[in-house]
A and B are shown apart, each in its own frame.
Chain A
Amino acid sequence: MNDYKTTVGIEVHCELKTNAKMFSDSLNNYGGVANVNINEIDFALPGTLPTINQYGVELGIKVALVLNCEINKKVVFDRKNYFYPDLPKGYQITQARNPIGVNGYVEIEVDGQKKKIGIHDIHLEEDTCKSTHADTKSYLDFNRNGVPLLEIVSEPDMNSPEEAMAYLEKLKELLLYANVSDCKMEEGSMRCDVNVSVSKTNQLGTRTETKNIGSISSVGRAISSEAIRQIQELEQGNVIHDETRRYDEKQDRTILMRVKETGNDYRYFPEPDLPSYIITDNDIEKVKETLEVMPDKRRAFYLEKGISSVNSDKLIQNKQLSDFLLGLEDIDLVIASNLLLGDISSYLNKTEKKITETSLTKDKLREVTTMLSTGEITNKVFKDIVVDLMGTNLSIKEIIEKKGIKTISDENALLEIVTKVIEANPESVKDYHEGKDRAIKYLMGQIMKETKGQANAAIVSRLLQEELNK
């Protein structure tokens, strides 16, 4: 069974974070009370005409740039015709002939191996309404109808569940950093359909499409189980049909869905209600100016600054924290990232707040990081002040005073403690002189214990070295 090669291509739909809908000027917001963000255009009442949302086009350009696509400067739309209650017009406005971006790629890494996954095209379209089904009735909420949707179609360049998952993770990361979509698969703002085929030769086998899978890890499982099913079918002498399936999470298998229209059945034709729009170089430049520093660049910078690769990844995965470090590139980023990923993250999780909703400012993070790097305060002190730092507008000095925390910087007082600790630990002193690094750490720890963590670490470190080397 191992001589079969699995091939995977993925279509991702993501909802764009605009204020208004793509082709109508009703509000882009759903999930609350049903059928409130709707208007005549969404309901396709006679005499209404669509218009193109400028920001929707700009976000399309942005994704094209981020995914290394060539931009088709002539923006035109087409009608994809099908009768279904979730689409009152009887057609979806989409881009079939001339998608806004083509021939792009995304670079992924699996087990240390880098690979480029081709992007066939990205195109702008509109979402359908949200339907809930009961026994004999379906209930429709048109708030989602017309929400800007960007479909990203990959080339069949992936050959394992791991590559597919890495591709989706990477895509999600890029879309989040481009600030175009919130990419929540559980809420449906990012959805994927996977095309899977297996073959023993270089010629691709017949593919099936598995629709609307709920999470990135489910995509991996769905691909595994669908590939195994296809191999079993072929081994039994059966043929694979070009069909649409869905993944059943509980049974861990894909199930055949009702056969829907495909290809020509959609009777695509140019949307006559929307004249073309020509993207200018100026439009593209304007969009480029809004692009933030992309994750790959941030990751490389973190590694260069000495942040571990695990912590670098954690920062990238938590964009609000990564964003908070923008403009603070000159401080000790190892210390700052430890604070952000440690005590600050715990505080944010506990209070269910975003970092921008707290009293912590970039200036305060800079100040406290510097205080830690010079030894003016210790990690223990930071733990004691973090709640006030995040929750009050007091300055760091005021918090330390209020808490009654003293940082001992008096050299004479510290020297006394240093001497005492050295006298009490002759073994460690011996170890130190024999070149054992651990000894000095142990002695530092003992001094901190004596001073209840309030000693200025930089001064202690200097005094300790001086005393040991006397």
Chain B
Amino acid sequence: MNKLSREEVLHVAHLARIKVTDEEIEKYQIDLKKLLDDVDKINDIEVESEELLVTPVEQDSVLRSDQETSSVSFEEIKKNVPAVTGNFVEVPVMIGE
């Protein structure tokens, strides 16, 4: 099979919360399949360890003390949000939480 099904594309689009047109669906059916095939090549590489390499850095985390804290004023944050009501960030209603 050289392309994804229509349903698969719609499912991925839904997870990303984007709307796609019929034309785009057809395009993504092929594009996404190509992408998956490219990524699949990684499976051909022979590896010695079964353990997942999460990061190439071989250093453990240094934990942060619970004591000191920092904050940014809401005035600053406001510049990066779509809308504000009072001290709240306003977004279109999230239905069926």
Contacts and interface: CB of A to CB of B under 8 A. Distances in A.
Instruction: Tell me whether chain A's interface is mostly helix, strand or loop, or mixed.
Output: loop
* B contact face: mostly helix, strand, loop, or mixed: loop
Contact of A137 (B17, B54, B85): B85
Given A18-B66, A26-B71, A52-B63, A137 B92 contact: yes
A11 to B, nearest CB: 17
Given A36-B74, A86-B94, A258-B96, A265 B60 contact: no
Chain B interface residue bracket vs A: 35 or more
A27 B52 contact: no
A395 interface: no
Interface stretch (A167-175, A195-203, A271-279, A461-469): A271-279
B94 A270 contact: no
A131 interface: yes
A29 to B, nearest CB: 10
Interface in B1-59: 15-17, 52, 54-55, 57, 59
A45 B81 CA distance: 11
Contacts of A57: 63
A274 B77 CA distance: 25
A136 B92 contact: yes
Q: Which of B63, B90, B95 has the most CB of A within 10 A?
A: B63
B68 A25 contact: yes
Contact of B96 (A35, A38, A53, A257): A257
Interface string A85-99: 110000000000100
A33 interface: yes
A76 B51 CA distance: 13
Given A52-B61, A136-B92, A138-B92, A83 B16 contact: yes
A257 to B, nearest CB: 6
A139 interface: yes
Contacts of A272: 54-55
Given A133-B93, A275-B54, 6 more contacts: A25-B69, A35-B77, A35-B88, A43-B72, A140-B88, A270-B54
Interface of A: 18-20, 25-27, 33-40, 43, 45, 51-57, 75-76, 81-86, 97, 131-142, 257-258, 261, 265, 267, 270-272, 274-278
29 contacts: A19-B66, A34-B87, A38-B71, A38-B74, A39-B70, A39-B72, A40-B72, A43-B77, A45-B80, A51-B62, A51-B64, A52-B61, A97-B52, A131-B97, A132-B88, A135-B93, A137-B90, A137-B93, A139-B88, A140-B91, A258-B95, A258-B96, A270-B54, A274-B61, A275-B57, A276-B61, A277-B60, A277-B61, A278-B60
